[in-house]
Structure 1
Amino acid sequence: MAHRYALRMDRPNSWTVFDIFTGQPAEVERKVMVGIKTRRAEKLVVELNIQDVKRRDDAHR
């Protein structure tokens, strides 16, 4: 299963977490995930992809 979220570098140590299907920045708690520091961005991508897999699994049950 393809991951839905990935990182795109804005500038050194500044990342956008984006939806690979739409190309748009992800939103978490109504905040657009742009200009995020490296470690936080990496954690967000993992968390969002885990949530997406669970959502898709639940939709197929």
Structure 2
Amino acid sequence: MANRYALRMDLPQSWAIIDVFTGQPVEVRQRVMVGMNPRDAHAMLDQMNVRDIKRRERAERKP
């Protein structure tokens, strides 16, 4: 299953998490995921993709 979220470098050492379907930065709890340091961006990206995969798997099982 393809990942929904990806990283985009805005500036050196400044990353954004984007929705690959829209190309737009993601908003989580009213915070736009831009200007992130690499460590935090990668950690958040992994969490978001895992949650999205689980959500899609549950949706596929429903009749």
TM-score (norm: length of structure 2): 0.92
1:3-47 CA deviation, whole Å, 9 max, x = no partner?
010000011110010000110101111110010111000011100
CA distance in 1, matches of 2:57, 2:29: 22
1:50 equivalent in structure 2: 50
Max Rg structure: 2
Identity %: 54
What are the equivalent positions in structure 2 for 1:1-61 lying under 5 Å apart?
1-61=1-61
User: Structure 1: which 5+ residue stretches go unaligned?
Assistant: none
After TM superposition, the runs of 4+ consecutive aligned structure 1 residues lying more than 4 A away are none
Measured in 2, the distance between the counterparts of 1:45 and 1:37 equals 12
Mapped partners of 1:50, 1:26: distance in 2:
15
Normalised by the length of structure 1, the TM-score is: 0.94
Q: Aligned partners of 1:33, 1:20: CA distance in 2, in Å?
A: 14
How many equivalent pairs are there? 61
The separation in 2 between residues aligned to 1:2 and 1:60, in whole angstroms, is: 15
